[in-house]
Structure 1
Amino acid sequence: MVKVPCQEIVWDIIPAMQAALAAELVSRGVSQINVAKALSVAPSAVSQYLSGKRGYRIVFDDEIKELIGKLAEDINNGTITENELGDKFCFICRHLRSDEGCGGPIE
Structure 2
Amino acid sequence: MRPPCEIVVWYVIPSIRSELAKELLKLGIKQKRISELLDITQPAVSQYVSDKRGHGIKFDEKTQNMIKMLAKDLTEQELGPDRIIQRICEICKNVKAEEIICQLHKEKDKIPTGCTACLGSNRDSDVDYCI
Identity of aligned residues (%): 31
Match of 1:51 in 2: 50
SS of 1:30 mapped into structure 2: coil
Question: Which runs of 5 or more residues in structure 2 are unaligned?
Answer: 103-115
Q: Render the CA deviation track for 1:28-66: whole Å, top value 9, x for unaligned.
A: 000000000000000000000011010012111111000
Q: CA RMSD in A?
A: 1.7
| Cα shift at 1:19 | 0.3
Question: Which runs of 5 or more residues in structure 1 are unaligned?
Answer: none
Q: Write the distance in 2 (CA, Å) between the matches of 1:30 and 1:13.
A: 23
| Cα shift at 1:79 | 4.0
Q: 2:22 matched to 1:33?
A: no
Q: What TM-score do you get using the length of structure 2 for normalisation?
A: 0.74
Residue type matched to 1:37 in 2? Answer: E
Deviates more, 1:22-31 or 1:76-85: 76-85
Between structure 1 and structure 2, the one with the greater Rg is 2
Aligned residue pairs, count = 105
Residue type matched to 1:67 in 2? Answer: M
Q: What TM-score do you get using the length of structure 1 for normalisation?
A: 0.90
Runs of 4+ off more than 6 Å: none
Q: Render the CA deviation track for 1:51-98: whole Å, top value 9, x for unaligned.
A: 101001211111100000000011011242211000000011011113
Match of 2:11 in 1: 12
SS of 1:52 mapped into structure 2: coil
Q: Write the distance in 2 (CA, Å) between the matches of 1:74 and 1:66.
A: 12
Residues 16 and 58 in structure 1, CA contact (< 8 A), matched pair in contact too: yes
Q: Write the distance in 1 (CA, Å) between the matches of 2:32 and 2:53.
A: 17
